[in-house]
Amino acid sequence: LEWNSMEELQKFINSAENQKVAQLRNNSASTKSVIVKEYLTD
C-alpha cells in the first residue's frame, strides 16, 4: 500500500483505529446483554 501524503496515511490509520474501537464497543455491548439475559433467566 502506498499513500500520496501523510494526510491520507493519517486518515487510513484513524479509520483503522475507529474500526477497532467500534468492534470493542460492539463486543462489550453484546457481552453486557448476554450477562443481563442470564441474570434475568436465573
Examine residue 28 and state whether it is found in any structural domain, yes or no. Answer: yes
User: If you search the block for the grid coordinates 470493542, which residue do you land on?
Assistant: 24
Q: Please tell me the predicted confidence (pLDDT) of residue 7.
A: 93
Helices vs strands, H then E, count in the chain: 1, 0
State which residues form the domain around 21.
6-39
At 1-42, the pLDDT tens digits run 677 899 999 999 999 999 999 998 888 888 888 878 888 876
- The grid coordinates listed for 14 are 484513524
Examine residue 1 and state whether it is found in any structural domain, yes or no. Answer: no
| Domain total in the chain | 1
- The grid coordinates listed for 1 are 500500500
Cα–Cα distance for residue pair 38/32, rounded to 1 Å: 10
